[in-house]
Amino acid sequence: MSIEYTPWPAELAKKYRAKGYWQDKPLTSILSEQLDKNGQGIAVADGQRQITYTELNTYSDNLAGYFAEQGLTHGDTAIVQLPNSLEFYITYFALLKLGVAPVCALFNHQRTELQSYCEILQPKVMIVSSAHSLFGDEQFSHELYNRFSCLTKIITDHSKGNSELKQGYLHKHTFIARDLNPEDVAFFQLSGGSTGTPKLIPRTHNDYLYSVVASKEICELNGDTRYLCALPAPHNFPLSSPGALGVFIAGGTVILANDPSPTVCFPLIERFGITHSALVPPALQLWLQHASATNTDLSSLQVIQVGGAKLSRSVAEQVTPVLGCQLQQVFGMAEGLVNYTRYDDDQELILTTQGRPISDLDEIKIVDEHGSPVAPGESGRLMTRGPYTFRGYYKSPAHNASAFDADGFYSSGDIVKQLPSGHLVVEGRDKDQINRGGEKIAAEEVENHLLGHAQIQQVAIVSMPDEALGEKSCAFVVADQGVKLTTLILRKYLRQLGIADYKVPDKFKFVEQLPLTAVGKVNKKALRATFEQ
Ligand code: OOB
């Protein structure tokens, strides 16, 4: 059984194949193609350990065999939540090999996020880490087993000592490889989201492999590339743009960091001779601040990619003088479309634009609020379709009806303008989302949690400007008459529900009422304007 998804129309699929963009190969070919030429090359290293391509392949074969013994089979789904570790890639490839499609949660996701993914995906298995507070003991696992009858197994990786996961991959378990259909869903990406419940993005072997192969070419990765993965490994940026998968195609080495702070990353840059890394703007700012004061040798750095949120020109300008390497801006989304500034672009384009699309078959439309194209060079809403941009969220027909136009163009919710060179400049956003230094918060999701509080009548969450993160979140709260709620009470309430920390509003404002628009909706623009001086 294959996993359902909205396919590309036949005539477009034909075009993507005719150009050779869809190669009809599974994502697992990334690994198998390294074995003969580069089996002894180091694929992944963290501070303590490293594994070769041959080991990555053998371990993921073993684990696939172990999963099969546990009853997992092609067409099943899984939830993976692992820190940046060798085990993440071993597990990812093991599931791909079996034809089991995982969603890889971020490590800072908590109870409510994991429960939502379980609800949508009905996974048969979860692969998690005891280093996460939820899985330090059995309690949450029991809750999940009780609530989701689909769930047959929660496999825990113990960061110290032996674990079921390690038993699974270190020991021989026979795995009989089966043919994978490259048109099938390989795994799910997480959407940054703008709705009440999280949305999952089905990514097929064909579309994802193309985005990685093309990204690896644009970014000129090769066997000498040593890529520092300091952002959460499952995120689309460090996984595929060109990310770890791009490095594996090139036969280079991925070095893992637990977080993007200079204290963690600078020693790794020196020790491993890191050539490339990917950062969000706030992390870049920290690197810039620390670089001038450090004795660490950063001279191996060739390229720093920056994306996930808007980079200001003044920060962009410092990259080459301070870090001594090239800046590449990356504007991408888990749904598909990724844009890069090219290394040989004019300096002005590199400093002030978010790049141009990967592919000549990426189609871009910039439209006004009625859906009509704006004049060239004007700003408007970004709509896109192409060989690696998805055609529908998983099991979300109602939301899909508004997220796509009649021609299958996806509305990303970004306000952009396009220069004659094709480069896009991100000017703003027309989605109910806060971009907290690259971490995306769907306002409605957190609003719904707060509305669950017995003494809250109304709530609206909007972004407020922040020096370090670009944006932070503020909740405007209308409480029941005569009730005195405090920031402390509501923070505690949300933490007890179990939501990721970055989603907890940075500020709460208690108000008598919320401003309304002419049609009676909450006027978020007016709320945001209260932060402007
Ligand atoms: C990346 O992916 P997501 O899915 O976490 O977030 C996508 C959204 C975009 O729609 C846009 O609103 C924002 O993040 N964004 C940027 C940006 N890059 C992403 N806004 C301004 N400037 C940029 N450079 O964030 C992502 C995926 C792949 C590669 C890079 C980033």
State whether the beta carbon of 424 lies less than 6 angstroms from ligand 1. Answer: no
* Contact in structure between 491 and 497 (CB atoms under 8 Å): no
d(CA 308, CA 224): 26
Question: Tell me, what DSSP letter sits at residue 150?
Answer: T
Q: Is a pLDDT exceeding 70 seen at residue 471?
A: yes
| Of residues 389, 388, 387, 385, the one with CA closest to residue 408 | 385
Burial of 13 from C-beta contacts in 10 A (0-12 / 13-18 / 19+): middle
State whether the beta carbon of 241 lies less than 6 angstroms from ligand 1. Answer: yes
d(CA 389, CA 154): 32
Count of CB atoms situated within 10 Å of the CB of 459: 24
Residue nearest to atom 9 of ligand 1 (CA): 333
State whether the beta carbon of 309 lies less than 6 angstroms from ligand 1. Answer: yes
* Contact in structure between 92 and 48 (CB atoms under 8 Å): no
Ligand 1 geometric centre to CA of 501 (Å): 20
| Of residues 287, 328, 282, the one with CA closest to residue 305 | 328
* Residue pLDDT, tens place only, 359-385: 999 999 999 999 999 999 999 999 999
The whole-number average pLDDT for the span 237-253 is: 98
d(CA 94, CA 66): 9
**Residue 91 is encoded by which pair of tokens?**
């597990």
Ligand 1 geometric centre to CA of 488 (Å): 32
| Of residues 106, 107, 134, the one with CA closest to residue 497 | 134
State whether the beta carbon of 333 lies less than 6 angstroms from ligand 1. Answer: yes
Q: Is a pLDDT exceeding 80 seen at residue 160?
A: no
Helices (H), 19-138: 29-38, 53-69, 86-98, 111-121
Distance of CA 299 to the CA centre of its chain: 29
pLDDT of residue 491: 97
**Cis peptide, bond prior to residue 242, ω within 30 of zero:** yes
The whole-number average pLDDT for the span 389-411 is: 97
Count of CB atoms situated within 10 Å of the CB of 501: 11
State whether the beta carbon of 275 lies less than 6 angstroms from ligand 1. Answer: no
Distance of CA 291 to the CA centre of its chain: 27
State whether the beta carbon of 426 lies less than 6 angstroms from ligand 1. Answer: yes
Ligand 1 geometric centre to CA of 312 (Å): 15
pLDDT of residue 47: 85
- The residues near 469 (Cβ < 8 Å, ≥ 6 apart) are 282, 436, 437
φ, ψ of residue 318 to 5 degrees: the values are -80, -15
Ligand 1 geometric centre to CA of 194 (Å): 13
* Residue pLDDT, tens place only, 107-121: 999 999 999 999 999
Count of CB atoms situated within 10 Å of the CB of 160: 7
Ligand 1 geometric centre to CA of 333 (Å): 5
The H or E element containing residue 224 is none
Atom of ligand 1 nearest to the CA of 426: 21
d(CA 105, CA 125): 13
| Of residues 82, 30, 24, 77, the one with CA closest to residue 57 | 30
State whether the beta carbon of 389 lies less than 6 angstroms from ligand 1. Answer: no
Q: Is a pLDDT exceeding 70 seen at residue 533?
A: no
Domains within the chain, CATH numbers bracketed: 219-431 (3.40.50.12780), 434-529 (3.30.300.30)
pLDDT of residue 159: 74
The whole-number average pLDDT for the span 182-193 is: 96
Per-residue pLDDT band at 161 (split at 50, 70, 90)? confident
- The residues near 68 (Cβ < 8 Å, ≥ 6 apart) are 98, 173, 175, 176
State whether the beta carbon of 414 lies less than 6 angstroms from ligand 1. Answer: yes
Count of CB atoms situated within 10 Å of the CB of 529: 11
Amino acid at 69: E
Ligand 1 geometric centre to CA of 474 (Å): 21
State whether the beta carbon of 308 lies less than 6 angstroms from ligand 1. Answer: yes
The whole-number average pLDDT for the span 439-458 is: 97
d(CA 10, CA 57): 34
* Contact in structure between 53 and 238 (CB atoms under 8 Å): no
State whether the beta carbon of 236 lies less than 6 angstroms from ligand 1. Answer: yes
Give the residue, 436 or 195, on which the prediction is more confident.
436
| Of residues 107, 51, 314, the one with CA closest to residue 230 | 107
Ligand 1 geometric centre to CA of 502 (Å): 17
* Contact in structure between 87 and 168 (CB atoms under 8 Å): no
pLDDT of residue 178: 85
Predicted TM-score of the model (pTM)? 0.97
The whole-number average pLDDT for the span 484-488 is: 96
Q: Where are the beta strands (DSSP E) in 152-193?
A: 153-157, 185-190
Residue nearest to atom 8 of ligand 1 (CA): 333
* Probe residue for ligand 1, chosen from 331, 335, 393 as the CB with the greatest number of ligand atoms within 8 Å: 331
The whole-number average pLDDT for the span 407-412 is: 98
State whether the beta carbon of 436 lies less than 6 angstroms from ligand 1. Answer: no
The whole-number average pLDDT for the span 64-90 is: 97
Task: Name the average pLDDT for the chain.
Answer: 96
d(CA 179, CA 195): 37
